Structure 1
Amino acid sequence: MISKSFTRLWQGVAVFSLFTLVTMTEAAQQNVPASGPSKHVTNQPAAAVTSLTPAGLILPAVKSVIDCSALTKTDLTALGGEGSHIISAKETQTNGSTFCQVDGVLSPAVGFRVMLPTTRWIQRYMQIGCGGLCGSIRTEVGAAAGCTPLNANGFVIGATDMGHGMDDDAFGNSAQKRVDFAYRAQHLTALVSKQLIAAYYGRGPSYSYFNGCSDGGREALMEAQRYPDDFNGIIAGAPAMNLQVQNAIFNAWLVLANTGAEGKPVILSSRLPLIHNAVLAQCDAEDGQVDGLISDPQSCHFDPQVLSCKAGSKDTQNCLSEAEITALRKIYEGPKDPQSGQKLIVGGPMPGSELAWGASFIPATADAPNFSKTIALNTLQYLAYVKNPSKTLTLNDVQFNKVGLSELAKLHPLYDATNPDLKAFYEASGKLILWHGWADGHISPANTLAYHQALADTMGGATRDKFERLYLFPGMHHCSGGEGPSQMDLISPMMNWVEQGIAPDVIISYQAAQKATTRFGQPGGAPGKGAPQAVPPRSQGITLETLAQGAASRPVYPYPFYAVYSGKGDVNSAASYKRKRLKTVPTQYPWLGQDFFKPYQFIE
């Protein structure tokens, strides 16, 4: 873990531009994409290749041309169908600024909210994705710590509940609501938001962005794949893109792998620090620095047997029983088809993610709520299959084999957002940033890595690198928090890329003041019923991240590069790190469902 003796790298709110990076290192990096050979990439410390500058183009602020209340008369029938209407349009205060808050519904039940600044709109629109199975309208903005134009309340912000108001999957009993959740709600919200923007300001947005994590990351990719003209720039964090497998197989397996013969969990969350420390003991120093973070988990091959209690040992607090060892192996390895031996998931939790497991599938007590169990059961009972099974179905009924995966594949083209054919998005000049925490215990980064590779396989690596970047954050949990720096601004680099053609390179990440600093990408509901434990309470209005003053910082480079300590300078300062290529950079992610990551026809 990074030292608590934080040093201040920047004063106040900072936005990192890459203009200086390009000009200072042009000779070293000319015409070399982020995924290119390491020998062509600068080895300078991060501070030498960053500068402070506003994000994107400077566009004149625009005022409203009509009263907020006049938007209640907006006719949405042509867009959403009969019954679509504005519920209310009223001015409200949030973050010290006045917004016109418009709430409405698109038939049959797609709730949406659009927040329009009354006087200082800078001609940009941002749509926010939701987490879990959605069911509520969320306007928490993440991956934006220190983004100046966003903090100045200059964006129009839009969001949707994805067509239902429940914390579980019971909405899956409705064929239309399945479609709304899969893709329709976000697309219609983009259309209605732009319609309201044009009415309120007398003109549409110059640039539109989508920003989501978890299911919001899936929604982000769905927009790029199905509706390539909706957004100029899309930021997809920890995307639940492989939704069918993620919820119906991955989550179910994690719960069952940790369930003993008596139906009780084998490993409790109190055991996770012991396991995590053993992983660190084996792999932490592989990046040249012992700091509590694993920078290259794919090169870490942890053997749980090192924690096995010796025969006759009385000190069982510092070792694991055979039952715990067995459960731990199953968790890391994931399920396999018994006939072929092929994996049924892209990959399991990464070594180093153990402290995040308590928020998903390792409970504190035998009877504590279990998020993975809840979301797996709801998906299996209401969403995963063409025809819903009996409500008496349990996780023990899941078929961890080729037949079970084949049944889930039937609705893969509806819910999943793993189609790597982004030709239309690329030709529309769209830009995509993928990001994931290496220590995400809920959605394995292996999925995001597989999609990044699938883009290259489908479109060619050179083409992919013209419009896509992937960032992986050591020690970060699901969408936020964790042992490593987990606050960053991806909005400003995206604006520079879309609006000025300056491709992003190094990102500066900061240590958050507390482990869970935002609800961005997090599901609603109580812990175990749609929400992991240790998530901050839900906020009203637009919620922005606050950048901790004097926080420790690290650079994060586009995959397959990572930051290593230069050997001199403050270890808590990004200026003391340089770029290095990861030791393990797979070009294949073999599993039984790998066709899920090849081009396919969507189900409408």
Structure 2
Amino acid sequence: MKISLFPIALLALLCSGTSAASAVTEPAHDGLAALEVVRPSRTCSSLLTLDLASIGGSGSRVTSASVQDTDQGVTVCNVEGTLAPSIGFRVQLPLDGWTQRYLQVGCGGLCGRISLRPDAVAGCVPFESGRFVVASTDMGHQGNGGTFGANPQQRADFAHRGVHLTARAAKALIKTFYDRAPAYSYFSGCSDGGREALIEAQRYPHDFDGIVAGAPAMNFQVQNSLLHAWQARVNRAPDGRSVLVASQLPLLHRAVLDQCDGLDGQLDGLLSDPRICRFDPATIQCPAGQDSDQCLTAAQMQAARRIYDGPRDERTGERLAVGGPQPGSELAWGGVFVPERAHGPLFSETIALEALRYLVFEQAPQPGYRLEQLRFDAETFDRLRARHPLFDATDPDLSAFADKGGKLILWHGWSDHHISPINTIAYHEALQRHLGKPEVERFVRMYLVPGMYHCHGGQGPSELDLLTPLMRWVESGQAADEIKVYQASRSGLPLSPKSRRAKTGRTPEYRPVYPYPAVARLVSDGQGERHTRGEPLTDTPTPAWRGADFYQPYRPRER
């Protein structure tokens, strides 16, 4: 017998005798709402009969429902299922301690897997203690390749449908299991998960109350084709060998710091805003006739210049992407577009070929298509436009999300080696142009983290919690003026700063990050040195490029 989603009132008649919702209320704390702790109203296994056809269509169903313990030691009802035709999803519903909050986690890369661990939750007590129902999806296919792009339905499921239908299915499971809808719904994703976060805000503004979008691959069409292909191509000599190799990256990074560390008023190995760093690799070019591991050859210097600059039309010089990796990111280039070893694999080449062969063009080339066949010119760029409204998430019209009270946190590492933070800055600027700066400040905050790589890690503090500030903003109207970013733990201690302090007897190091465009400035007073909120270091405009119109409102494409 299947449980019908309609009418919901009949669900109570099908309960199988589990304890009713507890009347215990978790008190308001740290700016979060006081919410009743709710227990399940039925057994976990009873969810196997829930009818999902009204959400995903015929063939949508729960495939398993069993009680399990998570890696954090939380006992949950682990539900897996399929939304037609092939969207896999997983939902974990706590048996104890659910405080009526739902969190959906985005998926990175080309997805094809399910991960329930979000970025930017370091020290988020409600998450780490199992107070959320958590869900995610594989977005309609298995495996991290791009061959699903040949199927129009799977393209749509990856582009937007998978995350939306998973949200609907998860909420149906919550309502059935607890006899209570979530009081607050949140989404957090990084990389393509950040693109998915913005897809939700743009296409489905009523799915979530608060959204965290980290290092978003919002320019999917350009990012995974021209940008990654360029980075791999410009570092390849005519004989196929790599020009720059990983062993030279520390030399390049030191040269950047020698020139630019301190421009922000502090010598700490980090660049608070790399746009003020006018670094030219020619400063460490070898003298004529000299080849040394302490300098760059002319070819290596040119390769580094082109990597920083990003793709351009090879004839006219027009920019084909809004930005490349910023100065200070060099130590992260290894394995992405600079090989770790001779003939080692490159992420940039792999993902560019998957995108070019199967995803970004209306007329896909043959599976044997090689990067050497790609032309960097206006014609190639314009062939990407057809699927821009399908895959991209650059529409600045978030008025529906704002009108329903939604809150959005954008974040990006300044040393991101995959997706340039200039993309996220450009989107923030587009929001202000379209909606007006006062309106954007009402529901959007953006944080740029010095020294942080793609989604996590970096040369400086990189552990942060953006979920708690988002909850506080949504639930009590308190927007965060400061985010504390902690030094990553290398000792195996828990992520929570409070837990780490209890273990070590000292407070872990952190650096504050303020809403863009403010930066953290180091000041000295009678108490010693401390960071405080400082004025922007530059008002450098986003560079002109061929896709600037991508950041204007557009009608989304369904498939």
Same-fold status (TM-score > 0.5): yes
User: Counterparts of 1:343 and 1:570 in 2: how far apart (Å)?
Assistant: 48
Contact 2:121 2:464 survives alignment (8 Å): yes
Distance 1:370 1:514 in 2: 26
Deviation at 1:340, TM superposition (A): 4.3
Contact 1:142 1:545 in 2 (8 A): no
Matched-pair contact (CA < 8 Å) for 2:243–2:303: yes
**Given that residues 264 and 537 in structure 2 are in contact (C-alpha distance below 8 angstroms), is that contact kept between their aligned partners in structure 1?**
no
Q: Distance in 2 between matches of 1:149 and 1:551?
A: 20
- The AA in structure 1 aligned to 2:511 is R
Does residue 464 of structure 2 align to residue 510 of structure 1? no
Contact 1:333 1:348 in 2 (8 A): yes
Distance in 2, matches of 1:265 and 1:582, equals 38
Match of 1:289 in 2: 266
**Which of 168, 184, 188 is equivalent to 1:191?**
168
The 2-side partners of 1:585 and 1:112 are apart by 43
SS at match of 1:411: helix
**Which amino acid is 1:259 matched to?**
R
Structure number with the bigger relative contact order (C-alpha 8 A, sep ≥ 6) is 1
Which residue is equivalent to 2:305? 329
Shift of 1:514: 3.9
Partner of 2:324: 348
- Find the counterpart in structure 2 of residue 523 from structure 1: none
Segments ≥4 residues shifted beyond 6 Å = none
- For 1:268-283, what aligned pairs fall within 5 Å after superposition? 268-283=245-260
Q: Distance in 2 between matches of 1:55 and 1:89?
A: 34
The answer to whether the Cα contact below 8 Å between 1:77 and 1:83 also exists between their aligned partners in 2 is yes
User: What is aligned with 2:512?
Assistant: 555
Q: Measure, in 2, the Cα distance between the counterparts of 1:569 and 1:198.
A: 56
Write out aligned runs for 1:441-460 (5 A).
441-460=417-436
Identify if the C-alpha distance between structure 1 residues 570 and 133 changes in structure 2 by more than 3 Å, giving closer, same or farther: farther
Q: Give the number of aligned pairs.
A: 523
Where structure 1 has 5 or more consecutive residues not aligned to the other structure, the ranges are 1-51, 519-543
State how far apart, in whole Å, the 1-side matches of 2:495 and 2:164 are.
26
Structure 2 gap segments, 5+ residues each:
1-27, 502-506
Counterpart Cα distance in 2 of 1:72 and 1:305 = 64
Q: Structure 1 residues 352, 198: closer, same or farther in 2, change over 3 A?
A: same
- Name the structure 2 match of 1:590: 544
Distance in 1, matches of 2:496 and 2:138, equals 25
Could you tell me which residue of structure 1 aligns to residue 523 of structure 2? 566
Contact 1:450 1:589 in 2 (8 A): no
Q: What amino acid is aligned across from residue 253 of structure 1 in structure 2? A: W
User: 1:425 matched to which residue of 2?
Assistant: 401
* Counterparts of 1:559 and 1:171, CA distance in 2: 38
Partners of 2:114 and 2:320 lie apart in 1 by 33
Deviations 1:178-220 (A, max 9, x none): 0000000000000000000000000100000000000000000
1:33 paired residue number: none
Contact 1:55 1:149 in 2 (8 A): no
Q: Pick from 355, 375, 385: which aligns with 1:379?
A: 355
**CA contact under 8 A between 2:193 and 2:216: conserved in structure 1?**
yes
Q: Is the 8 A contact 1:82 1:107 kept in 2?
A: yes
Q: In the aligned structure 2, how far is the partner of 1:568 from the partner of 1:388?
A: 62
Q: CA RMSD in A?
A: 1.8
User: What's the TM-score once normalised by structure 2's chain length?
Assistant: 0.91
Q: Secondary structure at the residue paired with 1:389?
A: coil
Q: Structure 1 pair 514/442, CA: closer, same or farther in 2 (3 Å)?
A: farther
Give the C-alpha shift of residue 101 in structure 1: 0.4
Paired residue type of 2:53:
T
Deviation, structure 1 residue 337: 2.3
The residue aligned with 2:84 is 107
Confirm or deny: 8 A CA contact 1:141 1:545 kept in the other structure: no
Deviation at 1:166, TM superposition (A): 1.4
- Cα deviation code 1:138-187 (max 9, x no counterpart): 01122111112112210000000011001110111111000000000000
The residue aligned with 2:343 is: 367
Q: How many angstroms does 1:587 deviate by?
A: 4.5
Partner of 1:178: helix, strand, or coil? helix
- Give the SS at the match of 1:105: strand
Map 1:178-257 → 2, pairs under 5 A: 178-257=155-234
SS at match of 1:412: helix
Report how far residue 400 of structure 1 moved.
0.9
Match in the other structure for 1:139: 116
Matched, 1:70 2:46: yes
Cα distance in 1 for partners of 2:137, 2:248 equals 39
Asked if 2 retains the 8 angstrom alpha-carbon contact of 1:294 and 1:352, the reply is yes
Letter of the structure 2 residue corresponding to residue 234 of structure 1: I
Measure, in 1, the Cα distance between the counterparts of 2:262 and 2:183. 47
Paired position in structure 2 for 1:580: 534
Secondary structure of 2:242's counterpart equals: coil
Name the counterpart of 1:169: 146
Residue 87 of structure 1 aligns to a residue in which SS?
A: strand
| Alignment partner of 1:320 out of 275, 296, 320 | 296
- Structure 2 partner of 1:533: none
In 2, Cα distance between equivalents of 1:380 and 1:514: 38
The answer on whether the counterparts of 2:446 and 2:515 sit within 8 Å (CA) in structure 1 is: yes
| CA displacement at 1:366 relative to structure 2 | 2.6
Quote the Cα distance in structure 1 between the aligned partners of 2:65 and 2:478: 38
The change in CA–CA distance for 1:54 and 1:296 in structure 2 (over 3 A counts) is same
Matched ranges for 1:144-163 at <5 A: 144-163=121-140
* C-alpha deviation, 1:54, in angstroms: 2.5
Task: Tell me what 1:541 maps to.
Answer: none
Taking the aligned partners of 2:468 and 2:368, their CA distance within structure 1 comes to 49
Give, in angstroms, the shift of residue 338 of structure 1: 4.2
- The answer as to whether partners of 1:278 and 1:307 remain within 8 angstroms in 2 is yes
Shift of 1:589: 3.7
Does the 8 A contact of 2:63 with 2:81 survive in 1?
A: yes
Q: Deviations over 1:53-111 (max 9, x none)?
A: 52511211000000000000000111111111111001101212210000000011100
Kindly state the Cα deviation for residue 570 of structure 1 after the two structures are TM-superposed: 8.9
Residue type of the alignment partner of 2:408: L
Match in the other structure for 1:408? 384
Counterpart residue identity of residue 454, structure 1: A
Return the alpha-carbon distance in structure 1 between the equivalents of residues 478 and 124 of structure 2: 17
Q: Alignment partner of 2:169: what SS?
A: helix
- Do the aligned partners of 2:489 and 2:495 also contact (CA within 8 Å) in 1? no
Contact 2:124–2:496 (CA<8 Å) still a contact in 1?
A: no
CA distance in 2 between counterparts of 1:587 and 1:426 reads 26
Structure 1 partner of 2:4: none
Secondary structure of the structure 2 residue equivalent to 1:318: coil
Q: Deviations over 1:525-556 (max 9, x none)?
A: xxxxxxxxxxxxxxxxxxx9454544211100
Aligned-partner Cα distance in 2 for 1:372–1:157: 31
> CA offset at residue 568 of structure 1?
5.0
- SS of 2:416 mapped into structure 1: coil
SS in 2 for 1:287: coil
Note the alpha carbon deviations across 1:215-241, whole angstroms, 9 max, x for none.
000000000000000000000000000
Measured after TM superposition, the shift of residue 399 of structure 1 is 2.1
Deviation, structure 1 residue 250: 0.3
Bigger mean CA offset, 405-414 vs 544-553: 544-553
Query: What secondary structure sits across from 1:131 in the alignment?
Result: coil
CA drift at 1:394: 1.0
Q: What percent identity do the matched residue pairs reach?
A: 49
Following superposition of structure 1 onto structure 2, how do residues 252-271 of structure 1 map, counting pairs within 5 Å? 252-271=229-248
* Alignment TM-score, normalising by the size of structure 1: 0.84
Q: Which residue of 2 aligns with 1:15?
A: none
**Paired residue for 1:93?**
69
Map 1:3-18 → 2, pairs under 5 A: none
